[in-house]
């Protein structure tokens, strides 16, 4: 661990009311930080501290003088707490998971970010369920849940709203959403989402016109629910097969980004009807399809998604469901105005753009614009109210995939590539203006947090804090 200039900074920084970063993407899930974080930084420049941590993809959850994260250490899933001032680990507790769930080859079983209401800290692992602690690490309650049925692992983060912990468990069989009492862990309500397949997006609370509604991105559909009882408020078509990015809101609009392979026009993955496919490929004529009976190609590459119950046999209903998903999937970034009920697709979608979309990285909206980053380092910015491009698919000269979601502070946008390059964009310019490319020389999957002028970034093995 390095502590560079810490004593000096403690003496020179004035006493200000502290901000917090209580969930994935901070206050309200908007990705908007506070203060003036540095534009340029590295392991040698503007670094306040850096400390080694267990492997994991969860992002910092910050309250007061503490930072909470999750990780995998010595084969155990752990929740741990760092001192915000110097990165020193304060406590660590393990989840009593009997088995660690499988993940994507570059994934992590410690992907969901913790959330807090200031009093309780909530950690969620697909391998175990939900645990609540106080900020000293004392367990307050726990709620075991079955591991989601998806071989890529769990990624959707919990949030707290109106005294309820919200868990979205979209999976290939038995999807649901759960509201737990934040004080006790008791179930408040449960919503069946079995029509949805795997999803990894964190739910979002859309605040507008004096109300709050719970918005959940899912396969093919975007849904809104009443926070009090979980009843559905409205739905909108126009989502990809798999939801990865989380929504944001700005200028009175809900802003949603959704992309997945096989959904772009001209590059659609198509499946022929089951009868025609099975007539040729069902070698043993048992009416079921095994992996070996699929010819090589993009459909076979998604066999694990088609075989929803993971029994090694694809039935006609399983096959036809996914065929319909490929046919109906829509890749786009779009805006929704408030006030709808029922199916609002044709009445409340204000604008949409369907090119150069991000895959996992969630957008950020600031200064009347929404910013996205497509893998490969292609940045786009649109006017929030109209969707008109300010610039689109312009190269930032920082290649690679982008899994971390964008954040913004002090008129700048920060977004990090998997390779560990932090691209800093001018959020006020009418053309692409890259202010800095900061190479952390380590892989990054977690989204950063920005609190009181300090940007906290988790790499594969460290948490680093940068501030001027």
pLDDT tops 70 at residue 457: yes
Q: How confident is the model at residue 195 (pLDDT cuts 50, 70, 90)?
A: very high
φ, ψ of residue 74 in degrees (nearest 5): 55, 40
pLDDT tops 80 at residue 165: yes
pLDDT tops 60 at residue 382: yes
Q: How confident is the model at residue 171 (pLDDT cuts 50, 70, 90)?
A: very high
% pLDDT > 70, the chain:
96
Q: What is the pLDDT of residues 209-252, one digit of tens each?
A: 999 999 999 999 999 999 999 999 999 999 999 999 999 999 99
Segment 10-31 shows an average pLDDT of 77
What pLDDT is stored for residue 17 in this prediction? 56
Entry pTM:
0.94
Segment 356-369 shows an average pLDDT of 98
Domains detected in the chain: 21-55+360-468 (2.40.128.630), 274-327 (1.10.238.10)
Sign for the pseudo-dihedral over CA of 194, 198, 202, 207: negative
What pLDDT is stored for residue 265 in this prediction? 86
> Can you tell me which residue has the tokens 């029994």?
311
- Interatomic CA distance for residues 326 and 268, integer angstroms: 7
Q: What is the pLDDT of residues 292-305, one digit of tens each?
A: 999 999 999 999 99
% pLDDT > 90, the chain:
95
Q: What is the pLDDT of residues 73-101, one digit of tens each?
A: 999 999 999 999 999 999 999 999 999 99
Closest CA to 87 of 462, 439, 445: 462
Q: How confident is the model at residue 10 (pLDDT cuts 50, 70, 90)?
A: very low
Mean pLDDT of the chain: 95
- The three-state DSSP-derived secondary structure of the chain is CEECCHHHHHHHCCCCCCCCECCCCCHHHCCECCCCCCCCCCCCCCEEEEEECCECCCCCEEECCEEEEEEEECCEEEEEEEECCCCCEEEEEECCCCCCCCCCCCCCCCCCCCEECCCCEEEEECCCEEEEECCCCCEEEEEECCCCCCCCCCCCCCEEECCEEEEEECCCCCCEEEEEECCCCCEEEEEECCCCCCECCCCEEEEECCEEEEEEECCCEEEEECCCCCCEEEEEECCCCCECCCCEEECCEEEEEECCCCCCCCCCCCCCCHHHHHHHHCCCCCCCECHHHCCCCCCHHHHHHHCCCCCCCECHHHHHHHHHHHHHCCCEEEEECCCCCEECHHHHEEEEECCCCCCCCCCEEECCEEEEEECCCEEEEEECCCCCEEEEEEECCCCCCCCCCCEEECCEEEEECCCCEEEEEECCCCCCCEEEEEECCCCCCCCCEEECCEEEEECCCEEEEECC
Q: What is the pLDDT of residues 55-70, one digit of tens each?
A: 999 999 999 999 999 9
């Amino acid at each position: 661990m390095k502590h560079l200039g810490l004593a000096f900074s403690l003496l020179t920084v004035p006493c200000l009311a502290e901000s917090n970063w209580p969930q994935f993407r901070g206050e309200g899930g908007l990705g908007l930080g506070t203060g003036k974080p540095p534009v340029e930084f590295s392991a040698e420049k503007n670094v306040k501290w850096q400390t080694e941590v267990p492997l994991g993809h969860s992002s910092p959850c910050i309250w007061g003088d503490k930072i909470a994260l999750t990780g995998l250490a010595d084969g155990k899933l752990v929740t741990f707490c760092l001192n915000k001032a110097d990165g020193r680990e304060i406590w660590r507790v393990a989840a009593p998971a009997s088995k660690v769930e499988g993940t994507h080859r570059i994934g992590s079983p410690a992907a969901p970010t913790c959330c807090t209401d200031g009093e309780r800290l909530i950690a969620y692992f697909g391998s175990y369920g939900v645990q609540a602690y106080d900020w000293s690490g004392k367990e307050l309650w726990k709620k075991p849940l079955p591991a989601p049925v998806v071989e890529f692992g769990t990624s959707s983060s919990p949030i707290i709203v109106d005294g309820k912990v919200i868990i979205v468990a979209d999976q290939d069989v038995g999807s649901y959403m759960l509201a737990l009492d934040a004080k006790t862990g008791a179930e408040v309500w449960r919503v069946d989402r079995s029509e949805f397949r795997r999803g990894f997006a964190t739910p979002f609370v859309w605040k507008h016109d004096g109300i709050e509604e719970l918005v959940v991105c899912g396969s093919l559909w975007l849904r809104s629910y009443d926070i009090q009882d979980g009843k559905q408020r409205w739905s909108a078509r126009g989502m990809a097969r798999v939801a990865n990015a989380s929504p944001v809101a700005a200028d009175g609009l809900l802003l949603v980004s959704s992309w997945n392979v096989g959904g772009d026009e001209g590059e659609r993955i198509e499946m022929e009807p089951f009868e025609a496919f099975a007539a040729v490929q069902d070698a043993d004529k048992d009416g079921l399809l095994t992996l070996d009976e699929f010819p090589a190609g993009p459909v076979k590459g998604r066999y694990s998604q088609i075989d929803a119950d993971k029994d090694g046999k694809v039935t006609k209903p399983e096959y036809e469901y996914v065929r319909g998903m490929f046919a109906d999937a829509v890749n786009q970034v779009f805006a929704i105005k408030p006030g709808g009920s029922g199916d609002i697709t044709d009445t409340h979608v204000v604008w949409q753009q369907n090119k150069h979309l991000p895959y996992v990285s969630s957008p950020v909206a600031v200064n009347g614009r929404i910013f996205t980053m497509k893998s490969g380092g292609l940045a786009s910015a649109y006017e929030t109210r109209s969707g008109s491009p300010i610039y689109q698919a312009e190269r930032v000269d920082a290649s690679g995939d982008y899994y971390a979601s964008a954040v913004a502070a002090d008129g700048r946008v920060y977004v990090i590539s998997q390779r560990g390059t932090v691209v800093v964009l001018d959020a006020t310019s009418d053309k692409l203006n890259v202010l800095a490319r900061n190479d952390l020389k380590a892989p990054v999957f977690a989204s950063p947090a920005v609190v009181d002028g300090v940007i906290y970034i988790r790499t594969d093995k460290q948490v680093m804090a940068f501030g001027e």
